[in-house]
Structure 1
Amino acid sequence: MLIQSTNISQQMASPLLRLLLLLLILYCGTLGASGNENSSPTVFLSVCGKNQTSNPQAFDVNFVDAMEKIFQNITSSGFVTSSSGANLTVYGLGQCFSYLSPVNCQLCYSQSRVKLPLCLPSTTGRIYVDGCFLEYSYRNVSSDSVDGADAFSCSNSTVGGSVQATFTNSTAKLMRNLTAAAPSEKDYYAVGSVVVSPALTVYGMAQCWRSLNVSGCRECLDKGRQSITGQCLPADDAKAMNAGCFLRYSTEPFYLTAADGGKGGGLSSSARHGLIIAAASAVVVLLVIGALLWRKMRRSSSGFRNEDDDENHEIIRSIRKSHLSFKFDDLSKATDNFSQHNKLGQGGYGAVYKGILPGGKEIAVKRLFLNTRQWVDQFFNEVTLINQVQHKNLVKLLGCSVEGPESLLVYEYLSNTSLDHYLFDSFKKNELNWERRFDIIVGTAEGLAYLHNASVVRIIHRDIKASNILLDERFRPKISDFGLARYFAEDRSHLSTGLAGTFGYMAPEYIVHGQLTEKADIYSYGVLVLEIITGRKNQSSPAASAEGRSLMEQIWQHYNSDTLIGLLDPQLEGQCTAEEALNVFRVGLLCVQAFPTLRPPMWKVVEMLNSRLHELPTPTQPPFLSNHGRESRSRGSETSHSHSYSGKGESVNQISVSVFHGR
């Protein structure tokens, strides 16, 4: 069940969302007072669900990813459905009305994307904007044509005088014709007009979402037509906003006629300019003020001193004054307005784009969106942590932008993108010969050893995986994405923290107990080593693999059968000796042992990889991420855990798991 936006503030459980809504209203009101109040698309209706998610953090992450998938495709197709997350799945649906050009479609979506997160943590939300529709839900709603939240609106002004009867009859006939025609038209879209008098023309449109079938479209349009013609006439403007369609008639030419060929779209250049300014200004409020105030409220309500607020304000001030500060417009131009052609990768918190600065310097721009309450930790972690650590195997932060519609991080550009683009591609993996793979394994170990033991602060990365290992022009590795990293004081044995990382790479004791140590990074690194040497991805669910068993389960079985060399990537045959390959296999297995205390520290891993003089220890059994919870019993089984670990991205042993995907 959904409620209309007039009750949004009463339904928001989070003080942050209520505050941000107030800030947004006040700030946009200021914009309207100083400029053209019609400079951006009008929000016709916003509807938020009554029910709230039981796990806001996980739901928010999936929401961001679902919205980003829509963003990637909305300009090319005008209609997109998406979904994200195996647990607490979020479904998305975006539809631009067919009279909008691709540019205006993207601008309309941007306006919707700024407003729709105000519904969180509700499990459902939809917004109707002048030109587009956007919706999210905990269930797949793409086939819904009508529901209890369907609404219509009538303008306060009416057509009177001698033409009223003609206007009413002509408009009703126009809408009957359009709703009858749209289900059989391309994209379920029909527009038309009727001349009532020399001074009065009525314009109408009907649009169904493309996910409906013909009967569903017809049902939706018929309900909408009956609402606006039966309840609104002789009002001079009316809209029907149903679950699966939108109808409108007006005495204003609100759409671009077919004779104009759809060029230019429905927004003027001044409107587009105003939209960009309004959206940018609104999101600045969300990014800078809202994030910091949320941290303040969170700490105040917990009884702790608000020690980070001044620090965060100081970070923003210092960034603005330092060489780290980039202008949003400059980065937008450098990436060709974040063109899909320049996109390097995608993660749960944003995307990374290649850019070229005016002087010819190549950069990588990480684009973050504040649609989740974890953004402030993500952003400040990345800026402060990576700016404090310098190592040849860590990606270098060049700066950031904090004063645009989106927050941006600027890194050195690495021409060969990330390891996963090569390792799991049957053609590109030919570029990864034995020497390069071994150097990647050693370089990543050296970077992690620096983070754990030699940097100015003790750091746990928390998301070591192939997509977070970037490669330069000589395929030298650099660890990236410090958004989930955590400081680790020397006098602490572990950190107790909410789960964050990627299933398949997360240490089992971290999943079950939530206790974070360097051993979690070592486990992730071990999985990565085994992926690199086999050329196979460690599926988060064994059922997803061709053999029906996890990669580690297969490796352990071959290890016990002394046939481990048979799992070596065929691309590497003849490029290394069996002894070299088996040593790397053994290092990987030592890092993924079930008992964290048995995993060697990273400095020791570097030593084992570089030294051929010492015999390596015998590894003990790793925990198998089995979809049946079974455990193998074989050599080394004395270390088997009593727990059964699941790798499906769902709650494990009654622990609610939130997975934050890094790039």
Structure 2
Amino acid sequence: MKLLLLVIVLFLFNPIVESQQPTYLSHACLNATTFAINSTYQANRDALLSSLSSNGTRASGFHNTTAGRSPDMVYGLFLCRGDLSTSVCRACVTFATTDISQRCPVDATAVVWYEECLLRYSDRNIFSVVTEAPTFLTYNSTQNVTQPERFKMLAGFMMNETARAANEITGGKKFATGEVFISALQKLYALAQCTPDLSVTDCDRCLESAIGYLPTGRLGGRFLNPSCNIRFEFYPFYNLTSAVAAPEETKQNKSNRIPVLFASLSAIFGLVLVSAFGFLLWRLRNNQGKENSEEIQLLDLVNEHTGESFSGENVGKSQEFPFFRLDTLHAATNHFSDDNKLGQGGFGPVYKGTLANGKEIAVKRLSRTSGQGLVEFKNEIVLIARLQHRNLVKLLGCCLEKNEKLLVYEFMPNGSLDVFLFDSSSAAQLDWQKRFSIIKGIARGILYLHEDSRLKIIHRDLKASNVLLDRNMNPKISDFGMARIFSEDKNEAITNRVVGTYGYMPPEYAMRGLFSIKSDVFSFGALLLEVVTGKKNNSYYFFENGESLLTSAWKLWSKGKGMDLIDQLLVPSCVASEVLKCIHIGLLCVQGDPADRPTMSSVVVMLASDTVPLPRPAEPTFPALRAIAEPAEPTSNDGVFSINEVTISNILPR
């Protein structure tokens, strides 16, 4: 009886039982290329699998090698989960070398995934190269979490921090785990891993892409591709002891585990900051009567939204949306020096700043004469403070002092997408794979706004200058001053104040003021075609036989000449099938009838799959475009509106 109790206790405290039989997950036989039985390639593949098996005890849990010579050379690798022992790794690799031969007997390229390891081989070089397909996605339950917004906030933070930790490990495993309290009694566990041969940039790109596919509203899930994998569960699915202190762990590795106290302290920290907001509000009302009532209302707005309650619980939103002191921002921007000015938008000027801790920021300064900017300011606080997605620019906080109204954002060192697309000296930096990745990232960001965030949000001003690029050229949608919130049961609205940018506006919005989620789909389609062609839609018709980019694209595509559209800088790097698919999707998005345009969820699926059938698009119609010579300047009087009002936001790098 005592022995039985001991076994039960050991199982409860260390639920990962090392098994010599790996748990199969999925496999892919990429049979575009096959080899003949008893061929030289088969002999090389078998020799490679034997070599991988014999190296299964490597402490790193990773090994890549080749067998044979060109043209029959075979490339192969294995990757074991970073928390497992060398004996478990060896058992998984040994099993996989036999299993993959049976599952993919004559395929020149194949991959197989298990709970404990992955193994792959190919007739092409796969070392130090990000391979994002094929993929394997699964979640454990169709049941959603009980507090989706709180869960998404904490899970999103944890997943990104775990991925960052995995990517920062050098000279060993690109592997990290994390855990965070979702409630007082419930923890969430996460794991992220890249093949160690990837560069920091490529690992980051792979993991960011993987996080985007992860079903974070579910009770657990995972996403696998040949180069990286990520997973979260409500139970410790990895070996807790090994994950905390692996034999080869260094001081840097020990920092990979996310502090569990983060979420536990968030409520206390949030309460303190909300109290501080309350005190600041009292001080402004009682000791600074000279402050105008508009600024007081804005401070009320910040206080209201930073201490918001989710399902009866204070989440401490102020932790992710702090209140900056004016003297801090003066010091960071050298008193808003012209040397630090990044650009000028309808809202006001934008400045680069550096905080005392070295963190770079971008500061939007509301023009004191801009009534329209005040509307944008309120909109950004209400919307962006609630939104958390890696393809949306992050609002770090705001400042309301001495009649200043300032918004503080994360700094995007590569500036905006239009700088790269429409500048011949910069466009060469965006090869096809980067552009395709940018297209998919923008699509995921819009999908989040339309369907996955707590609010249904219509951006209304999606364009190349409102897509910022981070250090790794990952896209982040910005400028939510024109955005509008829709209730769940509402799909469209009409306004007599048309805002946005010509070339990206759908015809029903430009001519009748009707906007919906399909308005953003149209804007995305126009932007997608710009990314492929390197040409601006809102100026293209001046020098291309009077036709817009959309019309010209449709005519060439319908004649089977879609590749004639491509930016010539992309010719050496492009994948013709991906380019043509993107043009096809772009044309579907800019259909004249909103009902004919796909939803963003369909767009994301179409971009990720090569097997989804695409309907034939009709010719785009946009008669209003030809009547406009130049976009109108934004009005500075918020009380006077015109059907042709356009807001311009040409912001330089920030």
User: Normalising to structure 1: TM-score of the pair?
Assistant: 0.49
Q: Which has the higher contact order (CA 8 A, sep 6+)?
A: 1
User: Normalising to structure 2: TM-score of the pair?
Assistant: 0.50
